Every structure is written in C-alpha cells, then in structure tokens.
Structure 1
Amino acid sequence: MRTPQALLATTAALAAAVVAPRTSAAAVPAPGTYYVQSATTGLNAAGTGGAVEQHRPRGDEDRQQWRLKAGGSSYLLENTDAPGTCLGRAGDLAATVACTSGDAAWEISATGADRYRLTVPGTARHLTVAPKPAGSTYPARLTLGGPDDLATWYLTPVDPATAPMPPQDRRTLDQVTFLTTHNAYANGVDGGFAPPFVNLVPNQTRGIERQLADGVRGFMLDIHQTRDGAILCHNSCALVSRPVALSADLQRMVDFLKAHPEAFVTVFLEDYVDPGVLRDELARVDGLSDVLYRPDLTGVRQNGWPTMAGLIAGNDRLLIFTDRSRVADQAAGLTRDSFGVMYQSEWTVENHWSMGPGVGSSDWSCYSRWYDANTNIPLTRTEPGFRPLFVMNHFRDVPVTGTAGTDNTKLADRARRFCQPAARKKPTFLAVDHYDRGNPGSAVAALNSYTYP
C-alpha cells in the first residue's frame, strides 16, 4: 500500500507548524536530511571546495546530503559532512557558507507535485542550474537566477518512508523488481556471440533456458543485421562461429511463458538492424503474438502501469524494448512500435551502463544513460499519471567473473543508497553480469518486499 496522501499532508503540516517559516508552511517538507536534486537534470547539489555544484548522485558520499532545519523565519540546509556549513550563496553563485551567515537562509515554496523553489529571502533570486550552452551539458556550478524550470528542485529524503508490498493481486508492474541479465546471449552455451578472444569472456555462463529456470525475467540482447536476419552478436557478427538468431532466443522465452503461465518477461534490444529486418525476425517466433504486451495500446501513459495480475490474466507477458529512436525509424518509413516493439526511452529511465573497468576502482554514482550534450532524460522523469520503469545497470566494461561476483554482493546496497534516491523510485530491472555469482537474487527479493512512494 502506498503511503496515504492524507498522512503525508498531516506530517508536513505538523512539521511546518513547529518551524513556522515565512513561506507557505504546509508546502515545505518536514525537517530532515535530503538530497537537493535538480528537476531538470536529476543531478544533486554537492559542496565542493566552497562552491556548490551539481554532481552525479553518490549517496552518502561527495557531500551531497543536506539537513533541512528552521533558521528563524526561513530555512537552512546544513551539509551533513561539514557541520556548521550550509548551502548558501556568494554573489550570484551558489556556495557553502557558515550557517550563521545571512547568505545561508532560504525561503522554500512548492511549485508543483513534490517540487520546490529555493529563494533568497525578500528577493526574486532563486537557486538554479545555469543555462545549458549549445553542444554541451549543463554547467556544474549552481547559480542564482529567475523563476524558470531550471530553478525547480526535488528535496529527496535520504531515508524515505516505505510501505509493504501490496498483495499479489494488487501490485503493479512498476512496483516489482526483476532480475535481469546483461548481454544474456553472451553465455558460451547457446552458441557463439563474438569474434575469437572476445568470445572467451562471456557476460553469463548459463544459457537462456537455464537463466529462465533460475528466475531471470529481464534479458539484454544485442542484435546485428546480416543476410540471415537479426543475429545476436557483440559489436560485430564477423568471424563469429555458431551465431544465434534473435528468433531462437525469443522462441525459448515464448515456450517458457507457455509452460509457466504466471511468468512475465522483458527483453531489451541493443538494436543495430533495420525495422523491416526486425519485423521479419519476430514473425519467425511461433506464438509471439499470443503473449506480446502492448502498453502503447492499453492507456498506460494516461493511467499508469497495470497490475501484474491483470497482465497475467490477459496473457500480456512479453514486453520488448528497443534502444533505437522513433525519429530515425520515421525517416525510414516504418516504426518498430507498429509491430509491438516499444521505444525504450519513451517508457523507461536507465542509469549509465558501466561502473568502470573490469578490475580496479569503480564508479557507483547513479545518473542517466541519456544525459549528454544532445539528450537530457533524467532518472527522475515523471509524467502526469505515468512513472517510467527504471532500469538499473550494475556491471562493468569487462565481465571479469570474480569482480562481477563481488559487485553482485553489493547490489542491494547500491540500489538503496545510490540509485533509488537518484531516480526517486525503485529499480524495476536489476541488470548484472554473471547473475549466478554473488546472489543478486537476494537484492531482488529485498526490493520486492516494499514499495517506494
């Protein structure tokens, strides 16, 4: 059950009554520890060398946590790593200042559902992300500006209230977490997947049928175009011995779904084929149309994700995404969703795909895969009535077995401290290498024990 709105409103009102700020009291979150998170980029305000910059979310690292408390008639945001130091300003730039300074005070006002504006008291100057220069990402240093969208912030709780997972017949697709295999086809069991030498470093060590039997329900597959159709290969299909067709692995999944009527499976295509080739490949899969789920035809964007029970009852049990863009397909004259393959960037958010090299240091920060000079789809993206599914990648550049096993033991911790607050939602798909090492299933079970409001 989600936290009742009435309870949230009552909590905020009681807290506001205690601190009695000048701004609209009932609209301000209760005192506590928060991430100050840009609604535009999804990145967090971090204190760094006297400046305040937007950084990739790093949980309790990197001076990104701020303690909200009353400061006379306004509010203070004290950095938890530097007591006595607050998020403030120096001239027209955001800075860390002494909490006793007048430059540390902020008025806070709601700008919409769970979004806020931080204003210099008695002025029209707001904490904001600097405008984005052409051909680059938004500047790191935060500044002061006018009341536009760049001045809109989430105050994301470090320790959010959660609720028990609803019963089986009431839980929705976006409340459930699924174990997902990165490069599921690159397993060395079902066939070849890469040229020599690369073929010696598989991402998984069990075939698709065994993955299904072990409880894997999400599959990341790379497809390349050859004269034989859409083939599963890593980087290139040249010199690959015993290559596997996409239709072969999809047939395995469809057959599994027929034998297990309670199961739901999702496929993510890293897609390098023409839409017509993909359409022809799917046509080779016997029974695919019987189980293919079409969220674009069932009002999901208007009404939210359906219950798992409803999907099972309707036999809508195989969801396929492509990482290709709709614009490119429109130019080619055939869109993939016309034959049931959804454009992933329209339905999901996803963090950057790598934590670093196969050995050595790692980067656990959690930020959008689609944040660069050309795109900006923050992990926090929401729409009225619709929350995108969250794909959480947890793997490295090279799938070293021992490293993956160690990383998988830390999956639950990264999801809780880094990625869940970064996206302001639970991961729907936990994608790992060598799923049979480090027990990532335990992280899935933990996430499936509660909901994140």
Structure 2
Amino acid sequence: MPSPRVLSTAAVLAMTLPLFCSGAASAAVPTSSVYLQNYRTGLDAADSGGTVAAHNPKGNEDHQQWTPVAVSGGYQLRNADESNSCLGRNGSSAVTASCGADGTTWSIAEAGDSTYSVSVPGTSQYLTGATDSGSVQLGSYGDLARWYLTPVSYATTGMPSADTRTLDQVTFLTAHNAFANGADGNFASFPVSLFPNQDRGISSQLADGVRGFMLDDYTVSNQAVLCHNSCDGVSSPVPLATDLQRIVDFLKAHPGQFATVFLEDYASSDVLKSSLASVSGLNDVLYRPDQEGVAAKGWPTMADLSARGKQLLIFSDRTRASDTASGWATRDTFGVMYQREWTVENYWSMGAGLGDSDWSCYSRWGTDRPLTTDSAAFHPLFVMNQFRDYPIGSTIATDNGKLLNRAQNFCTPAARKKPNYLAVDRYETGSPTPLTTVGTLNTYILAPGQ
C-alpha cells in the first residue's frame, strides 16, 4: 500500500487539478496523475494485460492511474506505473499501446458536473465505460461516456470552525456489529459466539468515543432483538430497545454529542416501530433529515444540531420498495431513514479473517448507486467499512493500523469524498488506533476547488 499522498491546497493548485466535488465551476484538464473514473458506475479504467477494463477502484495496485499529457492534436493518457504505456484504441476497444503510436491521442473536453469526455479527435466516438467489470469501449455519447479525472493526490483545507462545520464534513468512529461484543449478553450461537466483533459493551463504546453503531435486528416473540446471522440457538438475545436506550441516555447526559445507528434490518415495520416506541426519550433526540429539507439544501451544522438537541440518526438497510411490496408502513414514518437514500457505503468484506486482503473500495449496492453518487445541494454521507468475514485478532490489529492509509489513498478517491463513518472491528486495537485515525480525518476537509 502507498504512503498517504494528501497534498496541501497550494501544492495541488500548482498542478491545476480539477474540482473534487460535483457541481463545480470550469476547470482545466489536469496535468498530474488521475483516476479515469466513470460518472455512471464509479468504476475505474485499468490496464488489464493490454486491454482497458472497468475495475473496482483500487488505489495504486491495479494500473488505474493515468497522467494526461498535452501533445499535438490533443492529449495522451499515460499509465502512471507502466513505462511508455498509453491509453489507446483498437477498433471499438480501448487498449494500451506505446505512447505516440496510432490511436493514443485523445480529445478531452469538459462535460459538466466536474466530468470530462474522452473522444477520438475529430469524430463522435467516445470512450465509454462498462456497467460491470467488462471492457472499456468506444461508443456514442451518454452518461457512460462521462468521466471524472479524479486526482490521485488531492487538496485539503482545514476543518471549518466548530460553529460552521456540517454533518457531512465530520468523521465518526463506528463499531461494526457493535452488539456482538460478548459483554452485554448473548449475540450468536456456537461457534459464532466465540468470535465477537467487539470486546467492549455499548456503554463502554460510547465512553471510548464510538459514535456509530452497526446493529443487526431480528424478530423474536414480536420484539426486535440483536443477533448475528440469526437468532436460532441464541438464549436471551439483547433487545434492540435496550441498546438504543443506552445510546439515548448517553446522549441526554452529554449535550452536543451526536450518534448514528445503522440497522441491518430483518424486522417488519410494525415490530421495529413498537420496539422504538419503548425507548424513553428517543423522540427528543431523534434527528429527521427527511422533514428538514436536507435533500434540497444540504446537511445542517453540528452546532445547529447541538443547539436543538437533535443527536441521533437511525438508518435501515432495507429499501422503501421492499417495505411497500411487503405491505408494511414505510420506516421513515416513524423516524428510521432508508440508508440508500441518504448514504453511500463501500462493500463490507476485505476478505476472510486470514490470508490475502482486498483493498479495493467500491459500492456495497453496486453500480446503480456508486460511491461517487452526489449532487450540488446534497452530499450523501460516506460509510467506509474496514473489516473481514471473520474477526481474527491479529488481522484486525493489522487492518486497523492501515485504516488511515486506505481511507486516504483508496476510499477517498473512490468516493470523491472523505469518509464520514469508519466502521471497524475491535476499535481499541491497531497502531495507530481507529480513534486516532478519526482524529486525523477531522483536521481537514477536501478543498472545494483548485
């Protein structure tokens, strides 16, 4: 993995990088290394043995970095880690070829919302992405022919003051399977019960600085309870309401603090609504972005949320369509937001608990909602997962120590935004610890323009 490549604003300004946020003003074609990232899918153009293919973003590990170089008649796109290798074309296919060979000169033009078109000079043939891991082709113009030239080394500026920073500018430490901790009660049957994702209970997590909580809720005896994989064979699982009460009580005792709950949600709307109704004080602190026009005007400041005592946001991974199809009330009618409407999230697994790891960063929900999903007014919150299929202690410590590196060099470029939630196992382990990494990310935001 590379060392962090986050540059100062002044350094990146000198390289004339494009704007890093959608809806930005006109910008020149960059002259430094970029990811050729498809607007429609979020996938990167990568050299794959001479063929150019659409791959999941993977930092510097997959020949995905290109440097635009002005030449007579247009630009070459030189692969940043392969000598004299340029983006070229062979018939309708994108390939790599020796720089300067026929077919390696391209026209690059702005295409709106910080995107560019890459075309064959003097023609209506455009570089066109694939909707999966297929080959990059030449075709007609459309959303698949729009590309971000996402900077490899991006500009940052200092975190706004405490009274002006907005929710989407802040990063929170998040506990993956926060309930599966072996301290608060039973969460799984044997042998899964032998492998807790966390070592400390919810109250300790709150005291330690955890502010995001991933919880799996199932229905037992018409009550939402917390189990991992299923509740079969789990004696006395912890009720969802119990852990929510712990969180609400903490927030009421600590004005100005903000927490988010992410439900991997297997309960019906009626069961979930009933369980939430039993949590004392929940409605006092519950934040409702759907009722405040966030989708049209953006997220509020943290100071505003604090002043109003709105301290808790709850998401469900279910969809509005699935609830409607089941004949259930939609969850947002009682304050639970549909996560896919408000966030983007990378795929959860980096591999098994031992062995090779996958550091690529791509959408949990596929190319229909890539990590790059954005708009001028409303920026979805970015949930970054960093954990494995199975929580193995030594692997967790190593992965947590590399969290900052992956956040800065893999996932920030992949999403074109800084992570808002860093979800990990056993958050107290690693060097630096995930809480230290959260502190680092909370010292800056991405620069609004170059």
Corresponding residue for residue 264 of structure 1: 258
Q: Give 1:234 deviation, angstroms.
A: 0.6
Amino acid at match of 1:338: T
- Once residues 30 and 65 of structure 1 are traced to their aligned partners in structure 2, the CA distance between those partners, rounded to angstroms, is 13
Q: What is the rounded CA distance, in whole Å, between the counterparts of 1:318 and 1:443 in structure 2?
A: 23
In structure 2, C-alpha distance between the alignment counterparts of 1:242 and 1:272, rounded to whole Å: 18
Query: Over residues 18-54 of structure 1, what are the superposed CA-to-partner deviations in whole Å (9 max), with x where a residue is unaligned?
Result: xxxxxxxx64323111000011111111111111011
Is 1:291 aligned to 2:294, yes or no?
Answer: no
Give the deviation of 1:403 after TM superposition. Answer: 1.0
**Partners of 1:192 and 1:417 in 2: CA distance:** 38
Aligned to 1:442: 436
> Aligned pair 1:254/2:248, yes or no?
yes
Secondary structure class of the residue paired with 2:35: strand
Would the alpha carbon gap of residues 156 and 201 (structure 1) be closer, same or farther in structure 2, given more than 3 Å must change?
A: same
Is 1:115 aligned to residue 115 of structure 2? yes
Is 1:431 aligned to 2:442, yes or no? no
Q: Percent identity?
A: 56
Q: Secondary structure at the match of 1:118?
A: strand
Residue 350 of structure 1 corresponds to which residue in structure 2? 345
Within-5 A mapping of 1:223-234:
223-234=217-228
Aligned to 1:86: 86
1:174 aligned partner = 168
- Give a deviation string over 1:165-218, Cα, whole Å, max 9, x none: 111111111110000000000001100000122111100010000000000000
Larger deviation: 268-277 or 99-108? Answer: 99-108
Kindly indicate whether residue 414 of structure 2 is the aligned counterpart of residue 419 of structure 1.
no
* Aligned: 1:364 with 2:359: yes
Instruction: Identify the match of residue 405 of structure 1 among 383, 397, 400.
Output: 397
**Once superposed, what is the RMSD of the aligned Cα atoms?**
1.7
Aligned residue number for residue 100 of structure 2: 100
The 1:329–1:447 alpha-carbon spacing in structure 2 relative to 1, beyond 3 Å, is: same
Query: Mean Cα displacement is larger for which, 235-244 or 89-98?
Result: 235-244
With 330-339 and 273-282 compared, the bigger mean Cα shift is at 330-339
1:307 has 2:276 as partner: no
| Alignment of 1:49 onto 2:46 | no
SS at match of 2:411: helix
Match of 2:382 in 1: 390
Equivalents in 1 of 2:85, 2:16: separation in Å? Answer: 27
Aligned mates of 1:207, 1:12 — CA distance in 2: 45
Partner of 1:37: 37
Count of residues paired in the alignment? 428
Partner of residue 273, structure 1: 267
Structure 2 unaligned spans of 5+? 1-7, 19-25
**Aligned residue for 2:63?**
63
Amino acid at match of 2:149: L
Distance 1:77 1:11, change over 3 A: closer
Determine the C-alpha separation between the residues in 1 that align with 2:34 and 2:262. Answer: 33
Whichever residue aligns with residue 401 of structure 1, its letter is: G
SS at structure 2 position matched to 1:89: strand
How much does 1:288 deviate?
Answer: 0.1
Number of the residue aligned with 1:126: 126
Separation of aligned partners in 2, 1:326 and 1:254: 26
Q: Which residue of 2 aligns with 1:200?
A: 194
Answer yes or no: is the 8 Å Cα contact 2:54–2:134 preserved in 1: yes
CA displacement, residues 374-410 of structure 1 (integer Å, 9 cap, x when unaligned)? x621000012311100000000000111211111000
SS, match of residue 392 in structure 1: strand
Structure 2-normalised TM-score?
A: 0.92
Aligned-pair CA distance for 1:9: 12
1:83 is displaced (CA, Å) by 2.2
- Following superposition, the deviation at residue 370 of structure 1 comes to 0.6
Q: Which has the higher contact order (CA 8 A, sep 6+)?
A: 2
Q: CA deviation at 1:10?
A: 11
Deviates more, 1:341-350 or 1:222-231: 222-231
CA contact (8 A) 1:169 1:307 kept: yes
Partners of 1:54 and 1:304 in 2: CA distance: 31
Deviation at 1:139, TM superposition (A): 4.6
What does 1:128-207 align with in structure 2 at a 5 Å threshold?
128-130=128-130, 138-207=132-201
State whether residues 27 and 109 of structure 1, in contact with CA within 8 Å, keep that contact through their aligned partners in structure 2: no
**Counterpart check, 1:245 vs 2:232:** no
3-state DSSP class of the match of 1:124? coil
Q: Per-residue deviation at 1:101?
A: 1.6
CA distances 1:225-244 after superposition (whole Å, capped 9, x unpaired): 11140000011112212310
Q: Which region of structure 1 is more displaced relative to structure 2, 337-346 or 221-230? A: 221-230
* 8 A Cα contact 2:15 2:32, kept in partner: no
Q: Determine if contact 2:269/2:328 at 8 Å carries over to the other structure.
A: no
Q: Is the 8 A contact 1:191 1:241 kept in 2?
A: no
Q: Is the 8 A contact 1:28 1:108 kept in 2?
A: no
> Helix, strand or coil for the counterpart of 2:78?
strand
SS in structure 2 opposite 1:430?
A: strand
User: What stretches of structure 1 move > 3 A for 4+ residues in a row?
Assistant: 7-13
CA apart distance, 1:355? 0.3
Match of 1:324 in 2: 318
SS in 1 for 2:355: coil
Change (3 A) 1:10 1:94: closer
Whether the 8 Å contact between 1:87 and 1:94 is mirrored in structure 2 is: yes
Shift of 1:11: 4.8
* C-alpha contact 1:251 1:285 (8 A) present in aligned 2: yes
